Structure 1
Amino acid sequence: MKTATKEAAVAAPGKPFLMRIGIGLFGIGMLAVLAVFIMFAAGLENLPVWLSAAAGIITPLGLLLGLIALVREARAKKAD
């Protein structure tokens, strides 16, 4: 039985592709949010629109993709 457990652990796939994309987008979005806060704290008033859009759109998009991947994974495990 121990060999079957080891083989199953080795053969287990990593994170789903959708989860990896969600984590990446969320990380990029959080960097954009951090940049906006730092620039605003430094006294800059006219922040780039693309940076504000990235902070406001990419972060929740990454979170949404990650949650969708988690739900899909949980449903797949439940169906097994």
Structure 2
Amino acid sequence: MSAATTTDLAEVNALSFERALAELEAIVGKLEGGNVPLEESIALYARGEALKARCDALLKDAEARVEKITQGSDGRPTGTVPLDGE
């Protein structure tokens, strides 16, 4: 992996979900527009892949932390269970 690629990956991994998603959406818009030279398209695609991976990782992390509130027969909260505990 080249130094530029390693640096780019570190930069992407420091982005918040919102920033990574916004940049990914901008890249998709550029690529869908079809007015980007081939070499730039390839670079944008590679960055987009890194941004997608970052968003996926952040979503999986958030999903793992989300808990579902359980309720008793009287409707009052009785505790929590993991989201996947359904």
The structure whose RCO (Cα within 8 Å, separation 6+) is larger is 1
Q: Which has the higher helix share?
A: 1
Name the TM-score, length of structure 1 as normaliser. 0.50
Larger strand share, 1 or 2: 2
> TM-score, length-normalised on structure 2?
0.47
